[in-house]
Amino acid sequence: MVIVGCGFGGMELAQTLRNAEVQIVMIDKNNYHTFQPLLYQVATAGLEADSIAYPIRKIFKGQKNFYFRMGEVTQILPEQNKIVSTIGELKYDYLMVATGSTSNFFGNRDFESQSMPMKSVTEALNLRSLILQNFERALLTTDVHEQEALMTVVVVGGGPTGVELAGAICELKRHVLPNDYPELDFRKMRVILVENGAELLMAMCADNRLKAKKYLEELGCEVWLNTGIVKYDGMLAETKNGKQLRTLNLVWTAGVKGVIINGLNPDCTNQRGRILIDEYCKVKGYDNIYAAGDVACLNCEKYPNGHPQVAPVAIQQAQLIAHNFLRGFKQQPLQKFDYFDKGSMATVGRNKAVVEVRKIRFGGFLGWFAWMALHLMLLVGYRNKIVVFINWVWNYINYDRNIRLIIRPFSRKSDATAPGQ
């Protein structure tokens, strides 16, 4: 079996089949697994990048039926049961596509070239560098309008990532950046969360949506609802309501799409950039190709647009694929995928989070503590768990973020004045 991608789905499938009589070959463009739910903390100097990443070979150390190769799959040849990658061709008996998702700019090239996405460790580090570099520039400029643009952060998208990122930046504004840049007037710094819909966190209940908005506003975030960004040139953002914003820090969290590999029948993908699968997680039209996680879409009565693109879905789909794979060898009936929703949560800031598990809903400090405990349990590797826990305790006690480092200065080709160019 060939597995493309070591996200939550690919990792779970390989681990579940560790004792099976099957050769597993995993291909990923990186040599590490990324714990994406904490990327925003890397971007806001709360965690080191290596505390949310873990070497793939170390995850599967001692698993005798597992082989890893670093490379990028560029094409699938279903008729030949073969994949084409940057490191050569490889035949498969069974193929699992777990390539995850990437930022969806909905065809707007200005957003793609000028805004900051946050779907990988590299992008999170770029965002951290950009924000810190812009504050360094703000110290040097005498132009009031330019200084305000350098100190204004706009987050587009009111989902969990956008809410968590906006809250973390507000905490930087309140507790960290004024100590680093005492010469600046932080009344000029604005953190604005822009959401095209009528509410934040649309996947959660109405009470938690309102609570998240209240938490953000308490932290000093401006929440603009029913507002979409329609144009951005790297300095000036324009909304559909005609408002204009000067900012050099526009972060895009407004949408994701699946990472599709060429070669599958075009009818297998939908308009949202996801691969259509059946109730056994098989790609429609193929008997030996599976897909799971963010890239997969199973349309059903409860989820007409596919399941949410979250880790529990990927993990449960991978578990089903593994169990059905073993059942098939024993000629046992296959099971259909039935997602068990364990709940959802989002943290807004220190002692501020919203949680809902079935009909149980709570927030505040208890929700924040539950959010931290769950994420610590899900992190890969004891070292990472310990490092993250120590960082969180230190940050909580000292109201500090120690990792305010511009290790690799970020610059766009279109920004001739960016530091480090």
Q: Compute the average pLDDT of residues 267-272.
A: 89
Tokens representing 290? 């599976």
- In this chain, the answer to whether the domains covering 2-29+71-103+256-329 and 109-254+350-398 adopt an identical fold is yes
At residue 421, does pLDDT exceed 60? no
Q: What is the third-level CATH fold of 2-29+71-103+256-329? A: FAD/NAD(P)-binding domain (3.50.50)
Tokens representing 286? 């193929």
Catalytic-role residue among 164, 171, 195, 356: 164
Half-sphere exposure of 135 (CA within 13 A, CB side): 25
Model confidence pLDDT, tens digit, residues 112-158? 999 999 999 999 999 999 999 999 999 999 999 999 999 999 999 99
- Report percent pLDDT > 90 for the chain: 88
Tokens representing 161? 């990532």
Amino acid symbol at 91:
K
At residue 255, does pLDDT exceed 90? no
Per-residue confidence (pLDDT) for residue 415, from 0 to 100: 53
Amino acid symbol at 349:
G
Q: Compute the average pLDDT of residues 311-318.
A: 96
Backbone angles phi, psi at 15, to 5 degrees: -70, -35
Model confidence pLDDT, tens digit, residues 87-105? 999 999 999 999 999 999 9
At residue 191, does pLDDT exceed 80? yes
Cβ-based neighbour number of residue 408 at 10 Å: 11
SS3 (DSSP) at 292: coil
343: left (phi over 0), alpha (psi -120 to 50) or beta: left
Q: Compute the average pLDDT of residues 72-76.
A: 97
At residue 323, does pLDDT exceed 80? yes
Model confidence pLDDT, tens digit, residues 400-418? 888 899 988 988 755 544 3
- C-alpha 325/C-alpha 327 separation (Å) is 6
At residue 322, does pLDDT exceed 60? yes
Per-residue confidence (pLDDT) for residue 107, from 0 to 100: 86
- C-alpha 412/C-alpha 216 separation (Å) is 30
* Range list of H helices, 141-205: 144-150, 160-171, 177-180
Q: What is the mean pLDDT of the chain?
A: 93
At residue 306, does pLDDT exceed 60? yes
- Residue 419's pLDDT band (boundaries 50, 70, 90)? very low
Cβ burial 260-273 (10 Å sphere, 16+ → b, else e):
bbebbeeebbeeeb
Model confidence pLDDT, tens digit, residues 192-242? 999 999 999 998 999 999 999 999 999 999 999 999 999 999 999 999 988
Residues in the chain: 421
CATH of span 109-254+350-398 = 3.50.50.100
Any idea where the domains of the chain sit in the sequence? 2-29+71-103+256-329, 109-254+350-398
Q: Is 222 noted as a catalytic residue in this protein? A: no
**Residue of 324, 236, 211, 342 lying closest to 277 (CA atoms):** 324
The strand pairing partners of 194, in sequence order, are 156, 224
- C-alpha 247/C-alpha 220 separation (Å) is 17
Per-residue confidence (pLDDT) for residue 413, from 0 to 100: 56
Query: If you search the block for the tokens 């949680």, which residue do you land on?
Result: 355
Per-residue confidence (pLDDT) for residue 15, from 0 to 100: 97
At residue 23, does pLDDT exceed 70? yes
Backbone angles phi, psi at 78, to 5 degrees: -60, -35
